[in-house]
Chain A
């Protein structure tokens, strides 16, 4: 077959544990002993010998706090090889944590090193209103994390303006731990008679740090929706 047309898409040589291949595919260099947690169903290809263990015991314990109560949407990947992950064409951002800590919307978490400290966090008030079983994963330590974002994300510094930063919960991807979060309702009486502005509920962030936001209010969990 004439493959010249696709010759630009061959993978680049491995330079890091996690890398982007194109905007929306994540390439992870796997090695035994360095396990990875990834969203179930996010694998699109792999080379080498990689094994997947859905719903591992460590996760199950954590997941008991998850509001949805379903199986944990994480799998443990181990082995040697190259693993390619993607989430329905969403943009992938890989981050090399260096002692930082980050709070990621569960829907937007694609993969992270198993040796990182992580835990499920419940964001006050958010699940009640968003009504989508929103959970947040706090990740900290030294290692790699990959996030997904529908469209190129934007990073906004909080604490720069005198006022708080308000984010639509559906568009929120991640924020640096240490920010103060509070819900803000902008319900008015007029909303009840069909004259709302469409922006009923926001999360207000204050403190020093940043917020990552995606240019889409599509927060459906496609990997989970596939079942």
Chain B
């Protein structure tokens, strides 16, 4: 279970996980905002003394690949891979930051998080929302820092300037002060290449640039047409040309990879920050680590000429293969088996130096303590995402629950049959929205769950909500409930029925999987099987795709009847990822 961090919390990473190969995911979003997520590798004085450890969209990894930017995935706006054992000793701190690209301020940011995943399990999560910030344009989210051992700190500190100011704060240099032929537009960070024919950051080494000692190649190396790793997949700054499409007119051509004699046979997926950009000019390669002046139009290199200066982080095919990543762990995470020159340790027998017998907390109590019940004084308490505890003593009114959902109870609780009444029975039989309910009365705590479905308590304060009857787990008896009917052609059974709850109290809704809550807009549709609930203010319309002939044959879309919702702003619908 992930450990929740608050702003200012710190912990040793070894306390969070035994893993040293960490995945750091950042989710941050706001309406109309784009973000640059970066990682600063700072020295002991908290300065960015080596620009190669400024990991951002144009430089997606550090020289020894201890820090790699992976781009958006798995729900994260951006993500990094940090191999702590490979971080050079000069780097004492890794600061993860998010900056707004373009106009905007941090207070507009919705709920986001920074999380650490190790061994397939999320071990730490620091959540934040925009309400913690004001007019800042950047935020330092969290730090990995070395103090005897590597530690993690949830920082959450806003920063007034953008990425450029942040970079200056860390002692980095922004090369924009140099006279540039094409000034960066507006709020674009200074080192973002302007959207001209030269999106090349100067420090990008040509993909597959041979080492100086290598024999000359007849053809100039080409950029990776489809950058698999190095491309800033996240939020490219404004003015950045689309990835993978070199600007027309740059005469570099795209010979296939195999046509490069000195290049290794396999594509260098991450040997160089493969930016979809023309080749950096030979001889004009700025010293590595220098952020290049924008707008410098590099002429295409003449064939056969090679830069005399080799950026140290480029791959050097003519030389010894890059040092194998010093994965000293018995089970290295080696995600790039295709990389030439690196041993693929998966096939090897592990150096099994004895099984550690200890590890972890000792004893029964320690192992189970994280699953302990969490009593609060409240009537409804979620124990975890799938188990609800209701304290009948609080509030003093009975609870109606679906039959058979009790998994445990303490105290004197009586379970009795709750009939729907005569009229209810008739309606129930006719509509299929009959619920087999039981009434829980007495004094004590009842734990409710069903089939490990996710549970969501919804507290009603005089308002109303419609819930599909299959998705109701339990509710306070004080709530008024009735069956509502939605008519329409094309629905199996002739009509759809839902339960409407109204009054003051709590309804517990269960969903298979994590649901999505959508605001009702003029174009909100939902599958009638997957819909869980909607606010009662929304009006439901059946929209059926009438394609009689198509549906008679195999191969139709299978989505024939949809529900469309209309309503004032503020209404919402809840949909589960499961079609009952």
Contacts and interface: CB of A to CB of B under 8 A. Distances in A.
A3 B416 contact: no
A5 B70 CA distance: 8
A95 B121 contact: no
A34 B372 CA distance: 31
B359 A15 contact: yes
Nearest to B17: A12
B362 A31 contact: no
Given A10-B335, A98-B364, A196 B408 contact: no
A7 B451 contact: no
Interface stretch (A19-27, A66-74, A127-135): A19-27
B453 to A, nearest CB: 8
Contact of A197 (B329, B361, B373, B403): B403
Interface residues of B, number: 84
Interface string B445-471: 101011110000000000000000000
Contacts of B452: 150-151, 214-216, 218
Contacts of B362: 96, 98
Given A9-B120, A13-B20, A16-B360, A161 B408 contact: no
B18 interface: yes
Contacts of A8: 23, 74, 79, 81, 117-118, 120
A224 to B, nearest CB: 19
Interface in B9-66: 17-21, 23
B231 to A, nearest CB: 11
A47 B403 CA distance: 45
**Residue of A10, A15, A186, A198 with most partner-chain B CB within 10 A:** A10
B418 to A, nearest CB: 8
Contact of A13 (B81, B329, B336, B451): B329
Contacts of B128: none
Interface string A99-115: 01010000000000000
Contact of B120 (A13, A22, A81, A153): A22
Contacts of B334: 10
Nearest to A80: B352
B217 interface: no
A38 interface: no
Given A96-B363, A154-B384, A195-B417, A12 B449 contact: no
A112 to B, nearest CB: 13
B335 A3 contact: yes
B364 A102 contact: yes
A93 B371 contact: yes
19 contacts: A3-B337, A4-B70, A10-B334, A12-B119, A81-B352, A93-B367, A94-B367, A96-B363, A150-B451, A153-B371, A154-B384, A156-B447, A165-B410, A168-B408, A197-B403, A198-B404, A212-B371, A214-B452, A217-B449
Q: Which 4 A-B pairs have the closest CB atoms?
A: A16-B359, A198-B403, A10-B333, A12-B119
Interface of B: 1, 17-21, 23, 68, 70-71, 73-74, 79, 81, 117-121, 228-229, 269, 329-338, 349-350, 352, 354-369, 371-373, 383-387, 402-412, 415-417, 419, 436, 438-439, 444-445, 447, 449-452
